[in-house]
Structure 1
Amino acid sequence: MQLEINTNRKKHKIYKITIGFFVIIGLLTFFSKTINNFLLPKVTVTQLQKGSLGDVFENQGVVEYKAKNRIYSTNSWFIKKINVNVNKFVKKGDCLAQIENDEILLQKKNAQLNVLKAEDILKSLKNEAEPNKDLIKEKEIELEIAKLQYEKVSKGIDEDGNILADSDGKIVGINAMEGSVTQPNQVIFEMVSDTPQYCVSWKVNQDEAIKYKVGDKISVSIKIRQNNAGNKGGNDEILDTKNLVMESNVINKQYLSNEKVYELSANLNSNGIVLEEGQKATISINKSSPSYNQVIPKRCITEENRQNYIFVVKERQGILGKEKYVAKLQVNIVDSDTNNCAVKDVPNDVKQIVTDTSKTLTDDSAVMLR
């Protein structure tokens, strides 16, 4: 009886020891996996995508009038009075300014006398018994020059010394003051039509110029002022601003050697909205590539010794069961933009590519997915 009791106790003890052993093994395995997972690099992954690359590039430019009518002084004029202001609309023949007329009248008289003298000489040569054709041709040219000089002195000025508008339009520039004396061929007034056309111009360095070519589609954004429609008090002095966005195309690209930059321009269609010369504009261009079969984020790329690599995630059987690991794979980049790049020759069985990691990765190292 005692022997049987002792045998049962021994079996019970062995059973407890066995259970304890397996519990310890289980705990060790659990903690081993936990510790191992804690120490492993944690990675985020992505997949190969199909698509295009593209960037939006922006530059700052200014609004300009597409065409201006400029009124010049033909000589040194003393400006007695200016009758118009900037942004005033005028009609053809309106008096823009008054100048000291005595000297102008004398210049016109002398120019007219030169025309008459050239006509008399030419008439005499033609009436000779044996006209000298070469000399006649020379005097005809002199007559034309004399007429042009007379027209130049008379252009835009009446007998009272009034500078007259030669077309309908709006005054957008006045480059002389009352009491001042102009220089010959100085621009005094600048005008645009009642419905002016606009363009935008901007300058870029040689690196940026590569992004633009004549004909490229661009987007132009301009901040314009408008009356605050929500102003219940009717106070027109309170204004809001909004972005006026227009689509256009590059029409001109030229290199300015003195500034070592490229100047570009594009026409603007403001749909009747009045713009101001000198307004700032933001020019945007979206450059897109062809479609590629293998596109990944740029942050997937690791560069070593001028070679590009990616880390792909694979699975294998480890000591503690199935585990994830990474394999280093060389790739060729065929195109890129700010955030993504197109690669080629990546095997079709690659499903997961590392984008970010908590620790530095090496080939064949075990990892844990986040």
Structure 2
Amino acid sequence: MNVIDEDASIKRRRITGRATVVFITVMFLLTFFSKSINNFTLPKVTYETPASGALIKEVSGTGNIKANNIQDLYVSSSMKITGVMVDVGDSVKQGQTLLILDTSDIENQLEDELDKYAQKKLHFEELMEAGSPESMMSLDKAVQIARQNVEKAQKNYDSSKVLYEAGAITAINLTDAEVNLDNTKLDYEIAKNNKDKAISSNKRDIESTKFDISMAERKIAELTKEMNMSTVTAPCDGVVTELYYSAGMTANASQPLYRIADTGEGFQFVASVNISAVEYLESGDGAEITINSLNGKMIQGKVKQIRNNQQQIGVKKDVVIDIPLNGLVGGESGKADIKKNIGSYKTLVSNSAVGQDIRGYFVYVLKERKGPLGNEFYVQKVTVSIGDSDNTKTVVLSGINAMDKVISDSDKPLADGSPVMIAN
């Protein structure tokens, strides 16, 4: 081979070598950028490892402050309000004047009732006298005479029977003696019945009159009490929450004169909560109350009672929480937060990690494998059985272990085997 041919061969090899390098470089770059571009389209996921810990149920609900004890007062008779000395929201002391009432009509009613009472007492005394042994003497005498007449008639009949058998008198004479005996017996029964009826009637009248007198005494006591109500005073230290009448109106038995929150008996917060949220709550559980009107001040309380919400039975429950705090009046709104430890468990994952399909519950576990340009990540769908849960965590009973990397969040839907990127 001459020099010219050798140079041409070397030149061709150089060109071929350069082309190969360029080709390999281009292929590498294309593969690299293809993988990079593909990575931008992959779901970005975050993962966690299962951990042991406690489930904490967090229950919250809005509601209002109510006094444990509300005092009120009704009138049984209509009375005109002549003065109102307080306003709703006022703090009052026991014995402080609240209202002034016109009791002139009550005075007239009381006088009438006293007259009726005197009449009933007089009638009672007459009945007692009528039932005395002295008053019953005539009835006793009538029974005694009727019994004596029966004895005489019996003797006469017995004698007539002996004489008739001896042939001394006729059958007519014996029959007359027998009829007379029957009549005296009947008179005796009538006399006894008259006495028994008189005694029973007297007893019934006495008992009825006693009842009437007792009713009259209660009515008099009630009217006397209302007569002394010309000045209505506060029954306790507290806050006026309701005034149902103003000056010039006539009070009646349909509604009370006032309502006062007894500040000495403490307060309770009544929170309305979804029925499913109170499943684990019980009396004595601690609660934190935030009162809006107290600039978000936190108050510690304890659950006293869980009862049906009468407006939404089957949907809501009322959680009654005792709160030891002064300076409240009742009606303040706020929010209750209750945290309840419902148990400790070995394997917990975030609620967001657990999915459900027609086959049951599952989680996605992060896996790693070798690829053309290094390791790559994908997810594996794993069926699990679960237990209880709280607001953030779920108990996993089987299907995963503490070393698994469980997907807790993804910016795109996942499927079994989906390649993924780990979010930074």
From 286, 293, 297, the equivalent of 1:243 is 297
Q: Which residue of 2 aligns with 1:35?
A: 34
Instruction: Kindly provide the amino acid, as one letter, of the partner of residue 283 in structure 1.
Output: A
Aligned-pair CA distance for 1:31 = 4.5
Q: Which residue of 2 aligns with 1:222?
A: 291
Pick the structure with more helix per residue: 2
Moved more, 277-286 or 307-316: 307-316
Q: Is the 8 A contact 2:363 2:406 kept in 1?
A: yes
Q: Which residue of 2 aligns with 1:233?
A: none
Task: Structure 2: state its 5+ residue gaps.
Answer: 134-198
Q: Deviations over 1:1-54 (max 9, x none)?
A: 987x98799679758866874675466346424422431424322211222333
Q: Is the 8 A contact 2:103 2:227 kept in 1?
A: no
Q: Is the 8 A contact 1:198 1:267 kept in 2?
A: yes
Q: Which residue of 1 aligns with 2:230?
A: 162
Pick the structure with more strand per residue: 1
Alpha-carbon separation, structure 2, partners of 1:194 and 1:224: 18
From 256, 265, 275, the equivalent of 2:320 is 265
TM-score when normalising by structure 2: 0.68
Q: Deviations over 1:59-111 (max 9, x none)?
A: 2211122212212222111122233444253443x554333332110111223
Change (3 A) 1:116 1:95: farther
Change (3 A) 1:210 1:363: closer
Alpha-carbon separation, structure 1, partners of 2:389 and 2:312: 33
Bigger Cα Rg: 2
Q: Which residue of 2 aligns with 1:129?
A: 132
Change (3 A) 1:8 1:357: farther
Change (3 A) 1:303 1:253: closer
Alpha-carbon separation, structure 1, partners of 2:350 and 2:285: 27
Q: Which residue of 2 aligns with 1:177?
A: 246
Q: Does 1:200 align with 2:269?
A: yes
Change (3 A) 1:136 1:76: same
Alpha-carbon separation, structure 2, partners of 1:297 and 1:162: 68
From 289, 303, 310, the equivalent of 1:256 is 310
RMSD between superposed Cα atoms in Å: 3.6
Q: Deviations over 1:271-304 (max 9, x none)?
A: x3x1122111212222443222222223323433
Q: Is the 8 A contact 2:81 2:99 kept in 1?
A: yes
Alpha-carbon separation, structure 1, partners of 2:18 and 2:109: 125
SS at match of 2:56: strand
Q: Is the 8 A contact 1:251 1:267 kept in 2?
A: no
Alpha-carbon separation, structure 2, partners of 1:335 and 1:16: 71
What aligned pairs does 1:140-151 form with structure 2 within 5 A after superposition? 140-151=210-221
Alpha-carbon separation, structure 2, partners of 1:246 and 1:349: 38
Moved more, 111-120 or 75-84: 111-120
Q: Is the 8 A contact 1:199 1:266 kept in 2?
A: yes
Alpha-carbon separation, structure 2, partners of 1:194 and 1:311: 57
Instruction: Kindly provide the amino acid, as one letter, of the partner of residue 147 in structure 1.
Output: E
TM-score when normalising by structure 1: 0.77
From 86, 108, 111, the equivalent of 2:110 is 108
